């Protein structure tokens, strides 16, 4: 993280209520995040998201008699205004929903490849898969919210859009985090006139304390308020999107927009040491890959202590194997067969575990570089007083998506096409080398790593709602939170603040968090021991932005990741 970003983060943290926790064993003594997670407690209901204002809007919906879906819809649209790096109208996502007393639902509103997409469209110029018009898949977010509300919402649709419209029209106050975030991407944003006009008023990032109004976005939100999905996929908003495509060499057409459909999927059920988890099935790889990792790790009884070389080695080897399977076998189920049952079977995990040598690393051939973008997705969690629970992750992929704002309509487009295998054998921006199963085809959904997860306790009550941004690191971040809680007995605040480790087979290295102003959370002696076992070691910027809710003896606790700038709101 750059210096000003780090200072901005600390400014936010100092103003926050922080959880005072004792440092855990296995963490380098100068790791600064312990005790810095933002904690919110409430008796009945809770919302936690990447922006406290969006969480408060969700909480207010609950106070007005809305249910968890109503609150999720209002929070979603508010994030599209106040958290523009990832909140969106022009992206897609996944929602896990647990409806009291116990029904589970999974909604896929992932983007799809336009009808004119081809498997080789990025080979000549791979950069066009993440910046500019060609990078965008057909957005699914608005359809997703409309569908979730149609099936399960209680309050009038219009009332859920109104807070976001007000924020867009009247503006919201730019905090340190948002100002720094826009500044960090200002070069990309300045390449596209409507993005520059919206996010760089007076030619510069909006300063801290200024008010950012987005009148074009307000008009689009009003169209969605008045005409639901038709307000976005047809009419003047759709015309503006198509005109933007034509201006910049993009390929999304009116027919692509009209054809977009959400999909209700069968939630993926996993178990881990007495807990039941529900997570996202393909076309997200999140649930299946998380399941493989958990199943491998469950066989180690007891687990070595947190942060020990023995644990990190076993985790790295479990992650390596799970990502090799992910990359070779998972893709859009409408196009390829996904062996979900096999991959999430405990016997398959036992076999994978049997291939792990506890005394040395198993090398993966081929190193690839990581184009280290920040976490550009966003996760939020909601639980209402009746026990309905939403765990939702949404994305425009890179920070500020493809950097293109639709002229006159005020929303950024995604660069989700980069989540396909864009160049055979090549890595995408997450360093992921995907297989033919994730090749581009018209109408196909690109493989995701989003892992919105709902954990039930032995009494089948909601125990935890969890998810994170971070591309392919999302899956291991969710794993770390679960294992820190269940295996290492941490509080949720410590589980989220603890340093994270990542491995995805290629590049063949364990990746630890570290940055110029941030010391690594892993002790040097541990790194030396992992190298002795044969592991490559890399360092990368902070991983993820967890927004989680856990049941307590008196209600609910929300915890926001100290790596970023979210917050909870409950009652």
| 422 interacts with ligand GLY by CB under 6 A | no
Give the three-class secondary structure for 385: coil
Locus of tokens 């879906």: 69
| Minimum CB distance to ligand GLY smaller for 462 or for 474 | 474
55-114 residues near ligand GLY, rule: CB under 6 A? none
CB of 199 to ligand GLY, least distance (A): 20
Shortest Å distance, C-beta 109 to ligand GLY? 12
Q: Which helix (H) or strand (E) holds 497?
A: helix 492-497
Min CB(328)–ligand GLY separation in Å: 17
What minimum distance in Å lies between the beta carbon of 429 and ligand GLY?
9
Site for ligand GLY in 378-397 (CB under 6 A): 395, 397
Strands 501-502 and 555-560: unpaired
In whole angstroms, what is the distance from residue 223 CA to residue 551 CA? Answer: 38
Positive or negative, the Cα torsion across 388, 88, 478, 543? negative
Among residues 110, 91, 142, the alpha carbon closest in space to that of 331 is found at 110
Count of residues in contact with ligand GLY, rule CB under 6 A: 9
Give 451 or 526: the residue with its C-beta nearer to ligand GLY: 451
Rounded-to-integer distance, Cα 230 and Cα 225, Å: 10
Tally Cβ neighbours within 10 Å of residue 553. 4
Nearer CB in complex with ligand GLY: 473/565: 473
E strand or H helix that includes residue 292: helix 286-298
* Of residues 384 and 416, the one with the C-beta less far from ligand GLY: 416
Q: CB 544 → ligand GLY: shortest distance, Å?
A: 12
Taking CB under 6 A as the criterion, the residue among 256, 315, 419, 508 binding ligand GLY is: 419
CA 133, CA 533: separation in Å to the nearest integer? 45
- What is the sign of the dihedral through the CA atoms of 530, 536, 537 and 542? negative
d(CA 249, CA 405): 14
**For residue 43, how many other CB atoms are within 10 A of its CB?**
12
**Closest CB 305 distance from ligand GLY, rounded Å:** 31
Radius of gyration for the chain, computed over Cα atoms and rounded to the nearest angstrom = 22
Please report how close the Cβ of residue 491 comes to ligand GLY at its closest, in angstroms: 28
Structure tokens at 228: 């639901």
Nearer to ligand GLY, 91 or 163 (CB): 91
- Residues 377, 388, 405, 504: which binds ligand GLY (CB under 6 A)? 377
Partners of 558 in the β-ladder: 40, 549
Q: Which are the catalytic amino acids?
A: 377
On the 0-12 / 13-18 / 19+ scale of CB atoms within 10 A, 458 is exposed
Nearer to ligand GLY, 56 or 416 (CB): 416
Distance, CA of 549 to CA of 485 (rounded, Å): 13
Q: How far is the CB of 393 from ligand GLY (least distance, A)?
A: 8
Compare residues 449 and 476 and give the one whose CB is closer to ligand GLY: 449
Of residues 377 and 511, the one with the C-beta less far from ligand GLY:
377
Residue whose tokens read 């898949």: 137
Write the DSSP string, 207-225: PTT-EE--HHHHHHHHHHH
What DSSP element (H or E) covers 141?
helix 141-152
Residue ranges in 433-492 that form contacts with ligand GLY under rule CB under 6 A: 448-450, 471
Least separation in angstroms between CB 285 and ligand GLY:
8
Tokens 């409408």 sit at which residue? 334
Q: Provide CB contacts within 8 A for 362, sequence distance 6+.
A: 317, 320, 355, 356
What gap in Å lies between CA 341 and CA 425, rounded to an integer?
A: 27
Give contact residues for ligand GLY (rule: CB under 6 A). Answer: 377, 395, 397, 416, 419, 448-450, 471
């Amino acid at each position: 993280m750059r210096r000003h970003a780090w200072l901005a983060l600390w400014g936010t943290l100092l103003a926050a209520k922080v959880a005072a926790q004792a440092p855990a064993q296995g963490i380098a003594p100068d790791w600064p995040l312990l005790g810095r997670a933002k904690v919110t407690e409430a008796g009945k209901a809770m919302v936690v998201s990447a922006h406290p204002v969006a969480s408060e809007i969700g909480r207010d919906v609950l106070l007005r008699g809305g249910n968890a879906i109503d609150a999720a819809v209002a929070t979603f649209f508010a994030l599209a205004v106040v958290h523009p790096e990832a909140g969106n109208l022009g992206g897609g996502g996944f929602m896990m929903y647990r409806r009291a007393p116990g029904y589970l639902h999974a909604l896929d509103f992932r983007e799809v490849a336009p009808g004119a997409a081809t498997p080789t469209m990025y080979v000549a110029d791979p950069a066009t898969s993440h910046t500019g018009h060609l990078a965008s898949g057909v957005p699914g977010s608005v359809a997703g919210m409309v569908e979730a509300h149609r099936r399960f919402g209680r309050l009038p649709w219009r009332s859920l859009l109104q807070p976001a419209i007000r924020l867009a029209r009247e503006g919201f106050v730019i905090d340190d985090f948002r100002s720094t975030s826009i500044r960090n991407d200002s070069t990309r944003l300045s390449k596209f006139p409507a993005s520059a006009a919206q996010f760089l008023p007076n030619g510069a990032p909006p300063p801290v304390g200024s008010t950012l109004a987005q009148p074009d976005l307000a008009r689009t939100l009003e169209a969605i308020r008045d005409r639901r999905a038709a307000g976005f996929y047809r009419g003047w908003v759709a015309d503006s999107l198509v005109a933007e495509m034509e201006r910049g060499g993009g390929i999304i057409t009116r027919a692509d927009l009209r054809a977009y459909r959400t999909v209700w999927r069968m939630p993926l059920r996993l178990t881990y040491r007495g807990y039941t988890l529900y997570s996202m099935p393909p076309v997200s790889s999140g649930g299946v890959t998380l399941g493989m990792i958990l199943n491998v790790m469950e066989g180690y009884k007891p687990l070595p202590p947190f942060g020990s070389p023995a644990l990190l080695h076993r985790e790295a080897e479990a992650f390596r194997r799970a990502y090799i399977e992910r990359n070779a076998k998972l893709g859009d189920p409408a196009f390829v067969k996904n062996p979900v049952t096999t991959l999430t079977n405990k016997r398959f995990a036992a076999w994978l575990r049997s291939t792990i040598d506890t005394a040395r690393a198993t090398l993966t051939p081929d190193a690839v570089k990581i184009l280290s973008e920040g976490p550009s997705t966003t996760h939020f969690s909601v639980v209402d007083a009746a026990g309905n629970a939403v765990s939702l992750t949404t994305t425009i992929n890179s920070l500020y998506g493809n950097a293109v704002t639709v002229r006159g309509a005020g929303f950024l487009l995604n660069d989700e096409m980069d989540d396909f295998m864009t160049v055979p054998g090549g890595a995408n921006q997450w360093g992921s080398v995907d297989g033919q199963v994730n090749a581009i085809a018209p109408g196909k959904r690109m493989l995701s790593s989003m892992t919105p997860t709902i954990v039930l306790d032995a009494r089948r009550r909601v125990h935890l709602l969890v998810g994170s941004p971070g591309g392919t690191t999302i899956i291991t971040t969710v794993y770390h939170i679960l294992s820190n809680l269940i295996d290492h007995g941490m509080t949720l605040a410590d589980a989220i603040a603890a340093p994270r480790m990542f491995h995805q087979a290629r590049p063949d290295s364990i990746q630890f968090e570290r940055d110029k102003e941030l010391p690594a959370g892993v002790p040097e002696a541990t790194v030396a021991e992992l190298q002795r076992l044969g592991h490559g070691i890399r360092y990368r910027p902070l991983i993820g932005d967890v927004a989680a809710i856990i049941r307590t003896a008196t209600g609910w606790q929300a915890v926001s990741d100290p790596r970023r700038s979210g917050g909870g709101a409950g009652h």
